[in-house]
Amino acid sequence: MGTQIDDDPFFTTLLQSGGEGCNSTPTQPSNVVLQATFNDGEKRQPPKKVQRGASFTAEEDNLLVSAWLNISIDAIKGTDQKSTQMWERISEFYHEYKKQNNVNRSVVSLMNRWSSIQKCTNKFCAFLAQVESLHPSGATEQDKIEKAKIMYKEIEKSNFTMEHCWCLLRHQQKWQQHISTLGTRRRPQGEAALDTVEENIEVFAERPLGKKTEKEMERKRKSMEGKESEISISLAKMTEDRATTMEERRNAQLKADEKSEKIFELKKKKFELEKKKFESKMMMLDLRGMNAMQQEYFHNIQVAIFENSKSHSGGRSNSPSTPYYVDI
């Protein structure tokens, strides 16, 4: 089994790159060439003793998905292989490529885990299909996926934990065929109990959503739309209130500036008035009773006041015809 699968590009892609990403371009079916086969006489190495109790990791899930894809679409064995034979080969594939430090898994353990993967993934696909059928305006593919996750959590009361498996499966032709024929296959009659369980794992079709469930989902969808509408209204109200507050602040600032300007003008007028009173006082000052130095000092002040008055009056004297007396 070693050399043929080692050269298989499809298997290498799934294991090394983790499969196709959730937003990657779908793989073209014509590029998938599987060479994983067992000859009827080929001696198979029995797996080691199974260690029980450890939960499956995402890495183990990815390997199990890869094993299912490779074995179930084997170009030579095809769909002629019985369920028991197929799961034996899946188990051998799984243990051939698992890491040495990972626990060994029994066939039943792998079957049960695959059943859980398919069950969760089927439900998620149903929710995603319903979201896509609503044709939400402007929603990206990732938006639809996130919406489907929300619906899954609301209906199933748990998170969708198999997204890593769904990302590997979603663009594979085998999986797409499985989804398209979901619910169309019936349980085979007359087979042994193990074969019946295995066949059910392969089919395990989820019952289509009933009217009650659809009504519940529709009610929740409308409730979410109502909440979104309330949020939009609240945001609009907050924006309007913020604009009103900003306008009130601007008006208050303008009034404050206007008041400050008036106060400044009043102070300026008061200063001019005080200046005139001082100048008048200086000009009316009698210098005769002063000594020579005092007379010269106050005379210079009077000259400066007079010259300043002439410059502001265009060369004409502003001296009043009647003296303006100030109390000294």
pLDDT at 216: 81
In terms of domains, do 174 and 264 share one?
A: no
Would you state the structure tokens that stand for residue 112, as one six-digit string? 């049960």
Tell me the average confidence (pLDDT) per consecutive run of 10 residues in the chain, 328 residues long. Answer: 43 45 50 40 52 79 92 62 86 91 90 94 92 85 92 93 93 81 50 41 47 79 81 87 91 91 92 91 89 92 90 62 42
DSSP notation for 72-132: HT-TTTGGGS-HHHHHHHHHHHHHHHS-TTSPP--HHHHHHHHHHHHHHHHHHHHHHHHHH
In terms of domains, do 196 and 60 share one?
A: yes
Would you state the structure tokens that stand for residue 230, as one six-digit string? 């309330």
pLDDT at 202: 44
How many residues are there in the chain? 328
In terms of domains, do 113 and 216 share one?
A: no
Would you state the structure tokens that stand for residue 76, as one six-digit string? 């030579």
pLDDT at 210: 63
The sign one gets for the Cα dihedral 249, 251, 255, 257 is positive
In terms of domains, do 107 and 239 share one?
A: no
Residue 288 lies in domain: 284-328
In terms of domains, do 14 and 98 share one?
A: yes
In terms of domains, do 170 and 237 share one?
A: no
In terms of domains, do 186 and 217 share one?
A: no
In terms of domains, do 182 and 240 share one?
A: no
User: Among candidates 94, 119, 120, which has minimal Cα distance to 106?
Assistant: 94
DSSP code of residue 209:
P
Domain count, the chain: 3
Domain closes at, from 209, 231, 260: 209
* Cβ density class 182-220: b for 16+ within 10 Å, e for less: beeeeeeeeeeeeeebbbbbbbbbeeebeeeeeeebeee
**First-last CA distance in the chain:** 122
pLDDT at 291: 93
pLDDT at 79: 54
State phi, psi for 52 to the nearest 5 degrees.
Answer: -100, 165
CA separation for the pair 17, 271 (Å, rounded): 84
CA separation for the pair 87, 68 (Å, rounded): 8
The sign one gets for the Cα dihedral 133, 135, 141, 145 is negative
In terms of domains, do 189 and 263 share one?
A: no
Contact yes or no for 180/204 (Cβ under 8 A):
no
In terms of domains, do 139 and 252 share one?
A: no
pLDDT at 209: 55
In terms of domains, do 205 and 216 share one?
A: no
